[in-house]
A and B are shown apart, each in its own frame.
Chain A
Amino acid sequence: MQFKNQYPQQKVSLSLKNVSKKYPQRNSETSTVLENINIQILEGEIITILGKSGCGKSTLLNLIAGFENSYGGEILLNGKPIKDISPERIMMFQESALFPWLTAFQNVEIALKMAKVPKNQREKIVKHYLEIVGLSDYSHSYIHQLSGGMKQRVSLARALSLNPKILLMDEPFAALDITIKKSLYKELLDLHKKTRKTILFVTHNINEAVLLGDRVIVMSPRVYGIKKEYVIDIPKDQRSDNLSIKNIINEITVDLYDNA
């Protein structure tokens, strides 16, 4: 593993050791999706996983979230093997997984209810996180009254309100148009600056991966896993219209679409 530890004082948050995933098939054979995956994520890092569809990147995220329990190897969070599904590892989905029968406020609140946060603390937490994502004025709107970008911001508030140890984002911005995406990148990075959450961000969009990640991990279905890892050590606020970023993007593009 060749990567530079940008925050040397910080601990390892998530580590994957030799993780593999095989699905059984009808004719008693198995099909391999992931093989020999090794990743270490430090606390406060944003790691983006980049790959075309079918490379197993969503499967990997599902394993980390605990949605699937049978896999080879080890997944450790803060040194302890992960068990089952847990609010410690919150997933944010591509489609909005918000509940249409609730308002924005109630959608965040219900997360706290489910996580058994005492009643008297809930309101404060909900208000805080809705403010963070800039949706205080839309607290009482139902989900269908919000735009796509707003919905994902509510999702983000909901995820953050549970104070997870790691935030798993499964192409959360894929369905949004480019201008909204750009403003959400900025918001996500601002938010990250404030909260220093560890984020694992899965995407098939090269620009997105390079703009957001401290490191970009490129996955390929041919090798059932990680093809290459790029460390992006250019400050995140200087990445748009940056020449070396453009070079990295070109390099990754070649990597991603080249057969090898």
Chain B
Amino acid sequence: METERKSSKKKQVSLSQKIVNKIINRDTLSLVVFISAFLALWQLVYMSEILPKLSLPSPLEVGQTIIELLVDFTLVKGTAFTLWRLFVGFILSLALGLITGLLMIKFQQFGKTMSSFAVGLQSFPSIAWIPFAILLIGFNDFGILFVVVMSSVFSVMLSTYSGLRNVPPIYIRAARNMGAKGFSLFRYVLIPAATPALIMGMRQAWSFAWHALIGAEMLITTLVGLGYILSVGREFSNMSQIIATMIVIFTIGLIFDRVVFIKIEEKVRDRWGLNQQKIDQ
């Protein structure tokens, strides 16, 4: 027991180190260089006065706006609400998508029909749900959540369905031979075997949810949220505010992708032995 715990602890440490190394290394450096170059170019365009100052504020002005919006809590509150909606919508999508995906496996004919519907709905533009959501539900959080869920649930559903269907038959045979059936087959074999596919689906669902959310916040006015700050910026022709909010949106997306999803994916790929780089080392 003792040695078991020790070795697993060691593994965790090395895993988190790997992640830290992944974040603070050449990749991060080149990102910094890239962003600096971008800012420099922006400054040059600003100074050349090709565009009117109203259309393109300087990086410095935008920086000031970010600080102002942070200090008066507009951005903090907006970000908090947006993330809360994202979180709730994403969890709802995961739950609904997983359950429906499992039902599609359980009832084959339903699965066949539903999967063609889901493929169609997956590529349905999220913004096209908005008028429907407004009339059906109204200008409130539930309207926004509806759009978020409809935009991301089908990715989860389809990845659950195809992930489970593509589990190698030999795993299922071996498991049934060992006495697994029904629920234990699901729990011990099908779900873990489908995990890499499920994670890919989750990642895609997350990015769909994120796209949909900002769009919905802009059009379904609820007086709070990053999307709302964007639309206010447009109404008052406040380009600084628009760019400042865009930067926040970009940063949130980057953080989630780099930290949350990379962490989960790394862990899975590591276990499955899918990490080519690590095998080579």
Chain A interface residues (CB < 8 Å from chain B):
65, 67, 85-87, 89-91, 93, 95, 97, 99-102, 110-111, 113-116, 140, 142-145, 158, 162
Chain A contacts of B8 at CB under 8 A? 140
* Residue B118 interfacial (CB < 8 Å): no
A85 to B193, Cβ gap below 8 A?
no
CB of B260 to closest CB in A, whole Å = 20
CB of A26 to closest CB in B, whole Å = 22
Chain B binding surface, main DSSP class? helix
A99 to B193, Cβ gap below 8 A?
yes
CA distance A102 to B272 in the complex (A): 8
* Residue B188 interfacial (CB < 8 Å): yes
* Residue B271 interfacial (CB < 8 Å): yes
Given contacts A97-B171, A100-B272, A142-B271, contact A65 B195 (CB under 8 A): no
CB of A27 to closest CB in B, whole Å = 27
CB of A4 to closest CB in B, whole Å = 32
B195 to A87, Cβ gap below 8 A?
no
A115 to B272, Cβ gap below 8 A?
no
Chain B contacts of A111 at CB under 8 A? 178
CA distance A143 to B268 in the complex (A): 13
Chain B contact-residue range equals 20 to 34
CA distance A198 to B176 in the complex (A): 21
A145 to B178, Cβ gap below 8 A?
no
B271 to A114, Cβ gap below 8 A?
no
A101 to B179, Cβ gap below 8 A?
no
* Residue B136 interfacial (CB < 8 Å): no
CA distance A110 to B180 in the complex (A): 10
* Those of B241-281 within 8 Å (CB) of chain A: 268, 271-273, 279
B272 to A97, Cβ gap below 8 A?
no
Chain B interface residues (CB < 8 Å from chain A):
4, 7-8, 170-171, 173-180, 184, 188-189, 192-193, 195, 268, 271-273, 279
Residue of B nearest to A91 (CB): B177
28 A-B contacts (beta carbon < 8 Å): A65-B177, A67-B173, A85-B177, A87-B177, A91-B177, A95-B170, A97-B171, A97-B173, A99-B192, A100-B271, A100-B272, A100-B273, A101-B192, A101-B193, A101-B268, A101-B271, A101-B272, A102-B192, A110-B178, A114-B178, A114-B184, A140-B8, A142-B273, A143-B273, A144-B272, A144-B279, A145-B273, A162-B178
Chain A contacts of B7 at CB under 8 A? 140
Chain B contacts of A67 at CB under 8 A? 173, 177
A93 to B174, Cβ gap below 8 A?
yes
Chain B contacts of A114 at CB under 8 A? 175, 178-180, 184, 188
Known: A100-B271, A140-B4, A143-B273. 14 other contacts (CB 8 A): A87-B177, A89-B177, A91-B177, A97-B171, A97-B174, A99-B189, A100-B272, A101-B271, A101-B272, A102-B192, A115-B179, A142-B272, A144-B279, A162-B179
Chain B contacts of A100 at CB under 8 A? 271-273
Chain B contacts of A102 at CB under 8 A? 192
